[in-house]
Amino acid sequence: MAEERPSRGPLDGLVVLDLSRILAGPTCTQLLGDLGATVIKIENPATWGDDTRTWGPPFVHDPDGAPTDLSSYFMSSNRNKFSVALDIASEEGQAAVRKIAARADAVIENFKPGGLARYGLDHETLLRDYPHLVYCSISGFGQTGPNREKPGYDLMAQGWGGIMSLTGEPEGEPMKVAVAVADVMCGMYAAVGILSALRHRDRTGEGQHIDLALVDTQVSWLINEGVAHLTTGEPRQRRGNGHAAIVPYQVFAAADGWVIVAVGNDAQFRRLCDYLGRPELGDDTRYATNPARLANRDDLIPLLSELLARRERDEIIAGLEALRVPVGPVNTLEQVFATDQVAARGMRIEMAREDVERGGVELIGNPLKFSSSPVTYRRPPPHFGEDTVRVMDWIANGGEGSPED
């Protein structure tokens, strides 16, 4: 009896056709790949693949020290994938993509609305021919609405969707989040949507189209600030590192660096005041409750800032942790990835590649921790088109199992 191979993860057996590029779609498909799905990424020979292959430096170098097509940006969202070089503008490329689609469970793309219709690879055509498919389209503003033709980029979404109006110092300019968080969150919604639609497909046999807009997803995670505006009808303010509804909940300058103090309730505030040697502040009617602290923020924060600035960062952290007051450092990335916590949680990983300078690449791990079906890191980010022959041979031989077998 043949030995059963180990599971690749909870999505083992699913095949995903990835027609996306840059970040939102690739974030989604990397997550699905980590969970065990076979992800086949189609890359355009005319551009030498995904745009982000050239978004650098930094690049990984080959053993001779020359830069490769593996930029750090590309590698951040493209492990556990097969790279297939196909020109979808050609009849041969379209036919090959359709053969993969016939075997796939899900398709994801981020072309402009209607952009794939000219190639016969749009959702209406593929769902007509392969009704089992879950087909996810990501665009800037969605498939409908007056802005459907406008392009979608993370920075544009952060500006249009309002998050930049809430981010930055009160008197400064609106500020984007440092990483492309609108793209990343859109990828998360795409993964949830695809898995939900697959659940429906498995119950009913019916595939469907998912219409996902970058701006819609950004608006959705305005969360409490968005609902506060809808509740009051009033503009919301930028508060820098302060919080709109909790005080004190922000970054403070210590004598030798920066520290976060995040007081979540009145008892914690009283313990903070005890630590600072000003217990009377905890009973002061101006500060004793969170609504009172909000109303008197402009008086309280300078007072706390002066008291905290007299002490060193590590002293503050140790002192407040002992009193069960939420506190923490503002780490650099070097400090983050050097911590025992990151190591213990598997958030810094290395994947072998014999054709690169150090014999492998370092990546950020997946945060999902399953008790029975863990994520797997099977394939490092691919070079452009490196799996074309392997995948097309797999399809030509009937597409049974996975090209990973």
Sign of CA dihedral 200, 18, 132, 403: negative
Q: Given the residues 34, 122, 154, 183, select the one marked as catalytic.
A: 183
Residues 6+ apart with CB under 8 A from 223: none
- Return the ∠ at Cα 297 (arms to 293 and 300), rounded to 5°: 85
Question: Taking the chain, what is the end-to-end CA distance rounded to the nearest angstrom?
Answer: 18
CB 136 within 8 Å of CB 143: no
Structure tokens at 153: 């980029």
Structure tokens at 346: 């598997």
CB 229 within 8 Å of CB 285: no
Q: Give 3-state DSSP helix, strand, coil % of the chain, rounded to 5.
A: 40, 15, 45
CB 131 within 8 Å of CB 206: yes
CA-atom Rg of the chain in angstroms: 25
Residues 6+ apart with CB under 8 A from 68: 59, 60, 61, 62, 355, 356, 383
CB 177 within 8 Å of CB 250: no
- Please give the Cα distance from 374 to 365 (Å, whole number): 12
Is residue 183 part of the annotated active site? The answer reads yes
Q: Are β-strands 38-43 and 81-85 bridged in parallel, bridged antiparallel, or unpaired?
A: parallel
- Please give the Cα distance from 206 to 360 (Å, whole number): 42
Tokens 């069960």 -> residue: 324
- Please give the Cα distance from 24 to 147 (Å, whole number): 19
Q: Which residues are catalytic?
A: 183
